[in-house]
Amino acid sequence: MTTYHVKFFKSLLSSDGHPFKCLQRVVDVRHCKSPERAVEAAKHRFRRAEQLSDWKLHADAIETEVEYSGAEERSSARSTTRRRRMRK
């Protein structure tokens, strides 16, 4: 069975002005045919959990970890999706 751990992050500044990523929520998705579908399912769950119309209101970036278990080889992979900030 494949499990996708989809992490939602918000970029913030510390009290001394240094940027850091603040974890907002981790959504675990199982039984998806692809990582892309898992991310879309996680976005939907994140919006529902936070009662939002758009996940980007509470997060700037998404990281996905893939966990294989059972009969499949155990390993993990990581990919990142970032949203670009619009300058005014």
pLDDT tens digit sequence for 20-66: 999 999 999 998 889 999 999 999 999 999 998 988 888 999 999 99
Q: Give residue 86's pLDDT band: very low, low, confident or very high (50, 70, 90).
A: very low
pLDDT, residue 74, reads: 44
Identify the pLDDT of residue 31: 86
Q: pLDDT digit string (tens) for 49-59? A: 999 898 888 89
Q: What's the pLDDT score for residue 36?
A: 94
Q: In what order do the strands lie in the sheet with 61-68?
A: 19-30, 2-13, 61-68, 76-82
**Strand stretches in the chain, DSSP E:** 2-13, 19-30, 61-68, 76-82
Q: What is the pTM of this model?
A: 0.73
